[in-house]
Amino acid sequence: VALPAGFDPRDVIARKRDGQDVPAGDLRAFVLGYAAGDVPDYVAAAFLMAAFVNGLSGAETAELTRAMVDSGETLPLAGIDRPKIDKHSTGGVSDGVTLVFAPLAAELGLAVAKLSGRGLGHTGGTLDKLESIPGLRTDLAPEELERQVELVGCAVAGQSKDLVPADGALYSLRDATATVASVPLIAASVMSKKLAVGSDLILLDVKAGSGAFMKTPEHAAELARSCVELASYWGRRARAAVTDMSQPLGTAIGNALEVAEAVRLLKGEARGRLRELSVAFATEALTEVGGVEREVARSKAERALDSGEAAERFRRMIEAQGGDPRVVDDPDGILPRARVRRDVHGEGPGVLVTVDAEALGRAAASLGAGRARKGDAIDPAVGIEFLPKVGAGGGGDERIAVVHARDDPSAEAAAGQVLAALTMGQDAVQVPPLVFGWYGSEVHEGPGGPDERR
């Protein structure tokens, strides 16, 4: 795709730099031009920074989203007759909900075709986690994705040259240029992936707290509203929960470690906030599109985990994507393991009052679990198991973390970062709620919606 005659991408940057709105056609030409390789990285990076600093209007956010969707094919999934659910998190630390939710929802009779992302900034990415399973592929072609959902009930793939390529390109550029934590850029990125795939319900997990891009529930609510508004513009149904990310959601931070934790949860062997949130999303899905009463939906979800059936569904999903299914039987034996393991002990009395979850995410990324530069390889084996929860544990000389590292110096550095991320105290601690609230969309089709504005 050549850029339109007379179009100069620098004009788009200049407008945003000066706080003006970018005309819809120019924004579209810019995004499609970038996806096609006709706008270079450094030009797109300058635009992202201008958008980060000066924001995007609702109309610009909608246009950006539309151009990203239109940069590739769409996948209506018209042939799937089960209720279709999509789910996405805005990014967190030890946020393995998708790994648990996708097979769980499939086990409950729903269909999940999900486009996930890679690690971004200090947050982990589902694709990187899944790819720690030997052999597993996430570059599914659109027809493969659809076929797998038909056969297995769930598939988790990456955006690709076919599906939302503009998000793939912009996502890694944002990661490399400190332009991630922006409401319109996250909303467009998340929703472009959700709008490109047909679904009856889009569930959004909008994270709030130290480990999220949005540090307060109020800021996260703004992102939730923006995502839900985009869905409703497109005539799509969405429900967004603002959920706690003031501490790691599970215990594992790092790719293979998070898969191993998900396997334990799917087999009903572990409890905690990661299980609770996965069950909450499955309950929401089954209630909203399955017509099942909330308490019945919840107990069905709990049962699918405790019986091990959800784990069997995960096995089928892994196998369908070319991965080694024995990971479900023996995660520690099949997944890559780091050479060095180092225990970290607490340094004094009290209880954990706050934890800088972003710092923990960064510590895991510096061990090799995340990327410093676009396209960097990651190390699937490294990471941190962080054991205490806010209001419970962390004091005395109890073991608070296990660092999994490639070598002793990096293990030592990460151990220091873990200890520096904690605030201990003696007083009673207010444990944050798991879910701050849900935002639901009314679907507004008709005049004013995107198709009419085209």
Q: Which residues bind ligand URA (CB under 6 A)?
A: 90-91, 117, 120, 171, 180, 185-186, 189-190, 193
254 close to 383: Cβ distance less than 8 angstroms: yes
Secondary structure class of 265 (helix, strand, coil)? helix
Among residues 359, 338, 347, 336, the alpha carbon closest in space to that of 411 is found at 338
| Identified catalytic residue from 15, 16, 28, 88 | 88
Whether 122 sits among the annotated catalytic residues: the reply is no
Residue 183 CB, nearest approach to ligand URA (Å): 10
Active site residue 167: yes
174 or 273: whose CB is closer to ligand URA?
174
Look-up of token digits 């030592």: 412
What gap in Å lies between CA 205 and CA 295, rounded to an integer?
Answer: 21
Q: How many residues are there in the chain?
A: 454
What whole-number distance in Å separates Cα of residue 61 and Cα of residue 446? 19
Q: How far apart are the C-alpha atoms of 369 and 377, rounded to whole Å?
A: 9
- Catalytic member of 82, 174, 236, 275: 174
Contact 388, 394 (CB under 8 A): yes
Nearer to ligand URA, 188 or 400 (CB): 188
Alpha-carbon gap, residue 152 to 101, rounded angstroms? 14
Whether 404 is a known active-site residue: answer no
Q: Which is nearer to ligand URA, 187 or 415 (CB)?
A: 187
Please, which residue, 120 or 327, has the CB nearer to ligand URA? 120
**Which position among 26, 167, 244, 379 bears the catalytic label?**
167
How many Cα neighbours within 13 Å face the side chain of 255?
Answer: 29
Using the minimum distance from each CB to ligand URA, give the nearer residue, 68 or 104: 68
**Strands 201-208, 84-89: parallel, antiparallel or unpaired by DSSP?**
parallel
Q: Are 373 and 178 in contact (CB under 8 A)?
A: no
Nearer residue to ligand URA within complex by CB, 209 or 395? 209
Distance of closest approach, residue 127 Cβ to ligand URA, in angstroms: 10
Q: What's the min distance (Å) between Cβ of 246 and ligand URA?
A: 18
Active site residue 116: no
For residue 333, count CB atoms less than 10 angstroms from its CB and return exposed for 0-12, middle for 13-18, buried for 19 or more: exposed
Residue 174 designated active-site: yes
Residue of minimal Cβ distance to ligand URA: 189
**Minimum distance between the CB of residue 434 and ligand URA, rounded to whole angstroms?**
20
Contact 86, 197 (CB under 8 A): yes
Measured at the CA of 354, the angle between CA 348 and CA 355, to 5 degrees, comes to: 90
Strands, sheet with 399-405, edge to edge from the N-terminal-most edge strand: 252-253, 383-386, 399-405, 340-345
* Shorter beta-carbon distance to ligand URA: residue 35 or 152: 35
Whole-angstrom Cα Rg for the chain: 21
Q: How far apart are CA 131 and CA 137, in angstroms?
A: 7
**Residue 372 C-beta: closest distance to ligand URA, Å:** 18
Please state, in angstroms and as integers, the Cα–Cα distance from residue 200 to each residue in 187, 312, 322, following that order. 19, 25, 28
The residue from 193, 315, 371, 389 that is catalytic is 193
Minimum Å distance from CB 365 to ligand URA?
15
Query: Hey, which residues are catalytic here?
Result: 88, 167, 174, 189, 193
